[in-house]
Chain A
Amino acid sequence: AQTVTQSQPEMSVQEAETVTLSCTYDTSENNYYLFWYKQPPSRQMILVIRQEAYKQQNATENRFSVNFQKAAKSFSLKISDSQLGDTAMYFCAFMKLNFGNEKLTFGTGTRLTIIP
């Protein structure tokens, strides 16, 4: 079974600064996807960024980027120029491709607070 570990329960950073959230995972699979989801106080789970394991290039979405280290099974999220609206719980998630029988396995989350 796959496991996802987020070792930072809480983090805080000043507005406009850069912050990195850590995630490690354990799998014997080769073909999988990794995701970062954001869950603000409204509770809606929002996709931030995704990474395909077979792609070496790190994914980037505007101020959000990842550092994907496949051999180390590490998948960190970097938020640049942080904004107050980035305050939320951030979940790292894993999905192996299984011919339609896919499901997300989530980490325990990191609560990120952006300080004005």
Chain B
Amino acid sequence: KAGVTQTPRYLIKTRGQQVTLSCSPISGHRSVSWYQQTPGQGLQFLFEYFSETQRNKGNFPGRFSGRQFSNSRSEMNVSTLELGDSALYLCASRSDIEQETQYFGPGTRLLVL
């Protein structure tokens, strides 16, 4: 079974631009979570989607948004990029049966200049 995939793997943007990151979960997993990893703040939860609905959200500004499609693929969007948004963005999926365990993708490294 293929693991969680994320595209693109690397991205360079400038301040003020917007960006969209994509995540495809493990086949059969309906839950997708997003995390931000930075040297200063560590790993922080952004939000989770399940069956196309956001069901959990972390403490991030409204510039960070997401959505999930009927095939469980998820996208995360960051508008009006700031330098501090430079980070590794990790996506994780989990199954309905094994709800406690999240499986991570390789991440998208975003650099904002």
Measured CB to CB, the residues of A under 8 A from B are: 33, 35, 37, 42-47, 50, 52, 91, 95, 97, 100-109
Choose one: A43, A91, A103; the contact of B106 (CB below 8 Å): A43
Min distance, Cβ B32 to any Cβ of chain A, angstroms: 12
Query: Is the C-beta of B99 less than 8 angstroms from some C-beta in chain A?
Result: yes
Choose one: A37, A91, A100; the contact of B99 (CB below 8 Å): A100
Main SS class of interface, B: strand
* Contact across chains for B107 and A43 when beta carbons are under 8 A apart: yes
Choose one: A37, A46, A52, A106; the contact of B42 (CB below 8 Å): A106
Knowing A91-B43, A109-B42, say if A102 contacts B103 (CB, 8 Å).
no
* Contact across chains for B100 and A44 when beta carbons are under 8 A apart: no
Show 9 residue pairs from A and B whose CB-CB distance is below 8 angstroms, ordered by the A residue. A43-B88, A45-B90, A47-B101, A50-B100, A100-B50, A101-B55, A101-B56, A104-B35, A104-B45
* Contact across chains for B102 and A104 when beta carbons are under 8 A apart: yes
B99: nearest chain-A partner, CB-CB: A102
* Contact across chains for B45 and A103 when beta carbons are under 8 A apart: yes
Interfacial chain B residues near A47, Cβ < 8 Å: 101-103
